[in-house]
Amino acid sequence: MFRNNYDNDSVTFSPQGRIFQVEYAAEAVKQGSVVVGIASKTHAVLVAIKRNAEELSSYQKKLFQIDEHVGIAIAGLTSDARVLSNFMKQQCLGHRLTYSRNMPVRSLVDMIGSKAQINTQHYGKRPYGVGLLVAGVDDSGPHLFEFQPSGMTEEMVAFAIGARSQMARTYLERNLDKFKTSSREELIEHGLRALKESLVQDRELTVENTSIGVVGYVKGDKEGGEEKKKKVEPFQVFDGQDVQRYLELVADDKKDDKDGSGPQPATVADEGEQMEVDAY
């Protein structure tokens, strides 16, 4: 049987110029359930499918608040995500303390990018087994970033990571030009539709398995008649009954859309269900 000699650590290149450990880490991201993020001119939303490891267990958490202006969606190893999440929270608190402003989302993402890259270049270290979508607003507006275990980070208009996320991405690509001017509600709606695309057959979005996270700008309070500064709507996660209202928005087109997108290939139906990830 073929044995790979170049995947024992993350510091050795294969003759083809690949670092297998980093690629494997990227695979761990694909094992996690899907998360979708979209940004408009006023808001950034994250939506996620939560799994329960078994019927008797509760559903995993997919969305986390980092600071009042930033939230993340995770796909991959939850425990690795927690390390990053705590780090990000510390950075945001520190930045707010020294500058009294929302930490620019790009600086924040750059920091976890460099942190993750170190793990890919030092012997004995392991890359993070988690991918993130980072949604936030700062003084320059709403942002959405993708983060990968390799340390790669990139600003996105809309993106999806996790199991079967290609289907969600296809939906996002098809509707790309609508996002910029979308309202808060429309953005959530698009997110949920993208999420539905990547569902396994016979699965549906329910109040149990859907999470929605929103952050954005709202019109500032009129103070003395001249206050027109935008105010941050803090990152907030909706779970359980709170998502019902949004699920109803996309419930109607269930039949047509499923038909429209055509049958899913059966081979990928259970991808991502073999490994214990995301669970705890």
Partner 1 sequence: MDHRPQAWGRPRDDVYGAYDGSYLNNSGPRTVTQSPVVTGTSVIAIKFKDGIVMAADNLASYGSLARFTDVKRLRTFLGTTVIGFGGDVSDMQFLDRHLEELAVDESYEAEPTIDEDDQEAKKASQLNAGNIYRYLQKLMYQRRNSFDPLWNHILVAGFDSASKPLLGSVDLRGTSFTSPSLATGFGAALAQPIMRKYAATEEDAAKLTREQAVGVIKECMKVLFYRDARSLDRYSIAIVTKDGIELKEDEQLEKQSWAFAERIKGYGTQTV
Partner 2 sequence: MAMFSQNPLLNGPNYSFSEAPKFNAPEGAREHRFDPYTDNGGSTLAIAGADFTIMAGDTRLTSGYSINSRFHPKVFKIGGTTSDQKDATLVLSVVGFAADGEALKERLDAICKMYRYRHGKPMSVKACAQRLSTILYQKRFFPYYAYAILGGLDEEGKGAVYSYDPVGSYEREQCRAGGAAASLIMPFLDNQVNFKNQFIPGSGEGHALQERERRPLSRQEVETLVKDAFDGAVERHIEVGDGLQMMIITKEGIEEVVLPLKKD
Residues in contact with partner 1 by CB under 8 A are 39-41, 97-101, 104, 106-107, 138-143, 155, 157, 180, 227, 229
* Residue 211 binding partner per list partner 2, partner 1, none, with a CB distance cut-off of 5 to 8 Å that depends on partner kind: none
Contact between 40 and 240 (Cβ < 8 Å): no
Least CB distance to partner 2 at residue 184 (A): 18
Beta strands 141-147 and 153-155, pairing class: antiparallel
Q: Which is nearer to partner 1, 32 or 136 (CB)?
A: 136
Give the distance, in angstroms, between the CA of residue 199 and the centroid of all CA atoms in the same chain: 16
Between CA 58 and CA 35 the distance in angstroms is 18
Q: Which is nearer to partner 2, 125 or 231 (CB)?
A: 231
* Residue 39 binding partner per list partner 1, partner 2, none, with a CB distance cut-off of 5 to 8 Å that depends on partner kind: partner 1
Contact between 70 and 91 (Cβ < 8 Å): no
Q: Which is nearer to partner 1, 33 or 42 (CB)?
A: 42
* Residue 117 binding partner per list partner 2, partner 1, none, with a CB distance cut-off of 5 to 8 Å that depends on partner kind: none
Contacting positions for partner 2 (CB under 8 A): 65, 68, 89, 93, 96-97, 100, 234
Region of 225 on the Ramachandran plot (φ > 0 left; ψ -120 to 50 alpha; else beta): left
**Tokens 């269900």 identify what position?**
273
Q: Which is nearer to partner 1, 106 or 126 (CB)?
A: 106
Least CB distance to partner 1 at residue 75 (A): 23
Between CA 126 and CA 110 the distance in angstroms is 19
Which residues touch 139 (CB under 8 Å, ≥6 apart)?
101, 102, 104
* Residue 93 binding partner per list partner 1, partner 2, none, with a CB distance cut-off of 5 to 8 Å that depends on partner kind: partner 2
